[in-house]
Structure 1
Amino acid sequence: MSEMSFEQMLDASLKSIHAGEIVTGKVISVKPDEIALNIGYKSDGIMTRSDYSADNTVDLTTVVNVGDEIECKVKKVNDGEGQVVLSHREALASKASEELKDAFENQTVLTGKVVQVVKGGLNVEVNGARVFIPASLVSDTFERDLTKYQGQDIQFVITEFNPMKRRVIGDRKQLMAATKKEQHDKLFSELQVGDVRTGVVKNLTDFGAFIDLGGADGLLHISEMSWGRIENPKKLFKSGQEVKVLVKEINGERIALTRKFPDENPWKDAETKFAVGTVVSGKVARMTDFGAFVELEKGIDALLHVSQISREHVNKPSDVLEVGQEIEAKIVDLDVDSHKISLSMKALSEPERKEDLDVADVDIEAVGKAEAERVDEE
């Protein structure tokens, strides 16, 4: 047998490589735009800036040091000058492709960064590999503007994997739906009437606010927002605001909420503070043709019927009173259970007559209409 030449023995001692193979190289020199690596082959490997990073402005000397080991994919065994062309980015992409395949087969939840918002959805990068999430699978609710996801890390599962056609589809919607169901079931397994919860204002309407309790929404009706009168929920709350609420009622999937906390009930000492015969002062809050509602304190309005304003005949309250005007009057009737108080300014006039204090003198039908209107408004 003929003896091998030194060059033949050297070639025999070095590993063989082929295009597409993943190898590990040790950095032997670094320039701002190029890296040279020893990959255990007869020729060194060369990696350009664009094959190392997607950032074409990066100075490689700031991110790579001599002696570092880098995983690379062989793009060419010979670039025409005897050097091996390597790509770190393609190695990461190949490895990521295997991870995507495994995640698809096992329905593993992945996390990736949104690198591009396009008309039809989102392009997400996972370790150098791209996944497309269609707009219809981004959220479990319709979202017209997806730009808020740019640069965000989001979770999803792979529902279609076809690398040959460069078609890898992700789905975030089913994860959100599953999470919400889990939160929903947990909430209803724990929630009880009388619970105090902190929620987030999700939506505002003229009749109330929908509060996200973390798994389901509850309705905070305008009449339950305060012990006082609320004209418009949008003047009291804003979307996204955190609010403390009390669970008033649970009826199947419907949750009724209130902010009328019992310990804040302004009527709890009403029998003492607003006993019949007490002279009080208050502010005219609103008026109708048959009377004026006077706010005695926050959450307590009293009715001053038109017949009780003056000893002189008054056609309608607005003839002698104004909204915001401070008045004094005597309490002539109190019904704590129904939250009703009747006032009389006429009873303060001298000489005082029994009929001035007699509630029977008040037009009962009109008072009933006024109270009905108050209930309707609330």
Structure 2
Amino acid sequence: MRVLLAKSAGFCYGVERAVELAKKTAAERGGCVMLGDLIHNAQVIAELEALGVRRAESPADIRSGETVVLRSHGERRDVVEELESRGVRCVSAACPNVLRIQKLAAQAEREGRRAAIIGEPHHPEIRAVASYCADPLIFGGPEEAAAWLAEDPSRREIPITVTAQTTCIRELFETSVKILKKQCTNVKIFDTICNATHRRQSEAAEIAAQADAMVVVGDRRSANTKHLTEICNERCPRVLQIERADELSPDFFNGCSVAGLTAGASTPAGIIKEVYATMSEEIKTAENGEESFEELLNQSFKTLNTGEKVTGIVTAVGPTEVQVDVGAKQAAYIKASELSDDPNAKPEDIVKVGDEIEAYIVRVNDVEGYAELSKKRLDTVKVWENIEQAVEDKTIMEGVVTEVNKGGIVVSVKGVRVFVPASQSGMPRGADLSTMVKSKVQLRITEVNRARRRVVGSIRSVTDEARKAAQDEIWNNIEVGKHYTGTVKSMTAYGVFVDIGGVDGMVHISELSWSRIKTPSEVCKVGDTLEVYVISYDPEKRKISLGVKDRSINPWDVFMSKYHVGDVAKVRIVKLMTFGAFAEVVPGVDGLIHISQIADRRIEKPSDVLSEGQEVDAEIIAVDEEKKKISLSIRALLTPAAEEEAPADAE
């Protein structure tokens, strides 16, 4: 018996997006809330609750200031508005396809049309869509649509915009649309059935038509799972809908030669794998026998008849084959194509006469007295064994990225394709994974299924470990005054965070430059390389304070060596006060221009004449070395106004 597994079974894009968004929100905010079930799957809901996603039965259970992740089916507009009015932060995990239907319903109302939705009236998705228009029509199928029109013939003149629940059975939608198009004079049709749903339903129908028994996996509250079961029941005499693998029984598969398996959009891959494995075991039990390891090998290698591994001595090397003495009555040989995976390799480059060689027996012909061997297939098995061992030993392996795949990348490790999910690629979320193609990477093997020739790996686990080692190195050797070359990772109004080799340190804005600056962006940007030194650190809180200023240079000494009283300096206005303005003379040294020294006339306030950032010439009129204070004057450089001539005495 064989098991046919639907390729599109399991999480759709919308469900996967909702689950990941809930996990991310909980991690970033130290927990969050989901209103009702985020998706229809009890196991996933339990996992989310364990990660800090609290389940609320109603909006009243959500407190002001909390963050709520709105489910993938969408939420009613009045509920969202009520939550936001109470200070609840709403994060929508609604499927993009559901959001499209909501917009179409709202648009229909704005255009003076009536929205009609083909779907289940009490489903959360339909209730959410219906809230975006005043008086929607909801038809469960063609019979309800026909009945509504028959009640009042004048309804045929009403402008209608028709959409469908994303998980609606296509036949129901198309039959309903046919009736409405035929009888209504003004109807707009939007096929909003999810493409993934349509593929899943089509595959289920195709497999069910071939199977003697069909298993549908999914939550019993899930509409799309229920529809899959209905579709399968029409084509297969024996259909079982389950939520978990322990609901299977060997008796269900008695007399079956082909079994089918599909799953709803809210079913995690882990449950599908478990059911698939259990089905295989239950089928074996139903057939009253267990397959031996040799039989499994025979299934893996189609040309292998005996599967026996032998060791022999090379007796002759020819251009097309290699002869081997295996110590038996049959003569044995290996075709050149069965020596190596490299099609260009020549037999004489691989083996020589007298070499000992291991190979599989792929065929034995006792009548003609020869055995056909394969070294290539044995090498492949050894690679798989090494990879399986690498899972247990957590060995770091090396490979080359060969392609970008749906959801991740493919890495070739010793000729075996290893799938690395995007989340485990070590690249930031949303990054272009194609930049990794042809690059060498190190990874750990996390999952191996030899029967399905599926291998999953993680680059991130290796990079995270290397980063942790680098962090430990930093903390074990850090000391005040030690210099590092770092990279600006992020910026705030009060400073920048710099990566100094796996550990981020903070450079306060006051430590970025001797000059007075308002924002860090005036002197650096994200990605810049900075030479920094340690000012202080706290190993317990894992905080490091860094500086960029060159402490070997004393700005006051620079000023004193360059300027004296009476000199004129080009200064920059850095701060305006009621009593005057502070100006930078050299980086790190400011002087005061008193309000009386700004102009050759009386002014009300410094901003009447000066502005921050302005450069002006000023004379140094006094220096207090002890207090390190400087007095400046702009007025001293201005041409004195001509004295008014005294009037002649009247005679």
TM above 0.5, yes or no, is yes
Residues 210-359 of structure 1: matches in 2 within 5 Å? 210-251=497-538, 252-270=541-559, 277-286=565-574, 288=576, 290=578, 291-317=580-606, 320=609, 324-332=614-622, 334=624, 341-346=630-635
Residue number among 443, 465, 477 corresponding to 1:156 in the alignment: 443
Larger strand proportion of the pair: 1
Q: Equivalents in 1 of 2:491, 2:308: separation in Å?
A: 58
The letter for the 2-side match of 1:40 is V
Unmatched 5+ stretches in structure 2: 1-304, 326-330, 641-651
Unmatched 5+ stretches in structure 1: 1-16, 30-35, 352-378
Q: Equivalents in 1 of 2:487, 2:462: separation in Å?
A: 22
CA contact (8 A) 2:618 2:632 kept: no
Q: Equivalents in 1 of 2:536, 2:333: separation in Å?
A: 75
Q: Equivalents in 1 of 2:500, 2:609: separation in Å?
A: 48
The letter for the 1-side match of 2:322 is N
Q: CA deviation at 1:47?
A: 4.5
Q: Equivalents in 2 of 1:201, 1:227: separation in Å?
A: 19
Residue number among 77, 84, 88 corresponding to 2:363 in the alignment: 77
Once the two structures are superposed, residues 134-190 of structure 1 have per-residue CA deviations (whole angstroms, 9 ceiling, x without a partner) of 223333964543223222222222222331233322233333333222222221222
Structure 1 match to 2:463 = 176
**Aligned pair count?**
318
Residue number among 480, 501, 504 corresponding to 1:193 in the alignment: 480
The letter for the 1-side match of 2:567 is V
Q: Equivalents in 2 of 1:237, 1:37: separation in Å?
A: 67
Q: Equivalents in 2 of 1:249, 1:134: separation in Å?
A: 40
TM-score normalised per structure 1: 0.68
Q: Equivalents in 1 of 2:624, 2:570: separation in Å?
A: 16
CA contact (8 A) 2:399 2:440 kept: yes
Q: Equivalents in 2 of 1:113, 1:207: separation in Å?
A: 43
How much identity, in percent, do the aligned residues show?
30
Once the two structures are superposed, residues 277-320 of structure 1 have per-residue CA deviations (whole angstroms, 9 ceiling, x without a partner) of 44331233456474444332233332323321133113455655
Structure 2 match to 1:202 = 489
CA contact (8 A) 1:116 1:122 kept: yes
Q: CA deviation at 1:348?
A: 6.0
CA contact (8 A) 2:358 2:375 kept: yes
Q: CA deviation at 1:196?
A: 1.8
Q: CA deviation at 1:20?
A: 7.5
Q: Compared with structure 1, are the counterparts of its residues 222 and 23 closer, same or farther at alpha carbon in structure 2 (3 Å cutoff)?
A: farther
TM-score normalised per structure 2: 0.42
Q: Any idea what SS the aligned residue of 1:102 has?
A: helix
Structure 2 match to 1:40 = 324
Q: Any idea what SS the aligned residue of 2:552 has?
A: helix
Once the two structures are superposed, residues 218-274 of structure 1 have per-residue CA deviations (whole angstroms, 9 ceiling, x without a partner) of 111222111123354335334433321121121331111111221123123545656
Q: Any idea what SS the aligned residue of 1:282 has?
A: strand
User: Using CA pairs below 8 Å that are at least 6 residues apart, which structure has the higher relative contact order?
Assistant: 1
Residue number among 385, 393, 413 corresponding to 1:126 in the alignment: 413
Deviates more, 1:214-223 or 1:136-145: 136-145
Q: Equivalents in 2 of 1:235, 1:270: separation in Å?
A: 23
Q: CA deviation at 1:212?
A: 0.8
Q: Compared with structure 1, are the counterparts of its residues 294 and 262 closer, same or farther at alpha carbon in structure 2 (3 Å cutoff)?
A: same
Q: In angstroms, what is the RMSD of aligned CA positions?
A: 3.9
Q: Compared with structure 1, are the counterparts of its residues 112 and 22 closer, same or farther at alpha carbon in structure 2 (3 Å cutoff)?
A: farther
CA contact (8 A) 2:571 2:584 kept: yes
CA contact (8 A) 2:322 2:347 kept: no
